[in-house]
Each structure stands twice: as structure tokens, then as C-alpha cells.
Amino acid sequence: MAVNYVGLNSLDEIDRERLKKIVSKYGVDIKRLGIKNALKFHVKTHEVGGRVRYNFRTHLSVGKDVLNSEVEGWTIKTNVHSVMRKLLTAAEHKFHVMGQKQQKFHPKKAKDGFGKRVKMKIKGLVKFI
């Protein structure tokens, strides 16, 4: 999966390598869902009281759908993991790729009501309602 990084120059080399390694691992998972579009990854750093605060945003456009996630925090590793997990769960929910196997219909196990009668009539199990 191709990843476009924006603002990566604000990080030092060690942090860049960590970031690219984590994003590439999650890129494999996103690719497994059938999404092959490019991912935009925005990096911003802020100096707060002598410490560096990181802001990460992701943007993934799939056809007409756009998936975004954003996280802000103090450490690179945990924030990159959380922003990519948010993006991955958003993709799973949007495209319904993770789900249970659909079971066959059993007329005897169905509850009484309109649905049972209609389904049984369709299958030819009930001739008169």
C-alpha cells in the first residue's frame, strides 16, 4: 500500500523509521480488506513546556467514501498504533468485511410470526396461511 507522508520532516530519523515501520504493518492489514488506494498520513509536532506533543491524522479515500482518524499525544509509538487501529476499525465497519457466517434457515427453529410464515411459504412448507 502506498503511503503519502505529510510533515515527516519535523521528526528525526529514528522516529521516522519507527513511524514508517508501524504504518507499513497496518498497511498490510488494510490491503487485506481489499483497499488498495493510497493513504495520506499527516504529522504535526508542537512544543509544550519543553516536551514535544505529536498530532497524527490519516486520510483514506475509497471511491466516494472517505475514512479519517486523528490522535494527539506525547509518544509516537502508542499514538501511531491508535490512529491506525481507528482507521482499520472504521474501514471494517464501513465495508462490513468482518462478520459471522450466515446460517441456513431452519423453519422449526424460527419464532412464530410473520417472518416464519412468509419464509415457510416461500420454501413451500406451508400451503395455506
**pLDDT tens sequence for the chain (129 residues):** 788 899 888 888 999 999 999 988 988 888 887 777 888 999 999 888 888 999 999 998 887 888 899 999 999 899 999 999 998 888 888 876 665 555 565 555 555 555 555 555 555 555 554
Instruction: Return the C-alpha cell found at 102.
Output: 450466515
Give the CATH number of domain 3-95.
Answer: 3.30.160.100
Which stretches within 1-129 are classed as H helix?
13-32, 76-95, 114-123
* Residue ranges covered by each domain of the chain: 3-95, 100-129
Residue 27 and residue 48: Cα distance in Å, rounded? 31
Structure pTM?
0.69
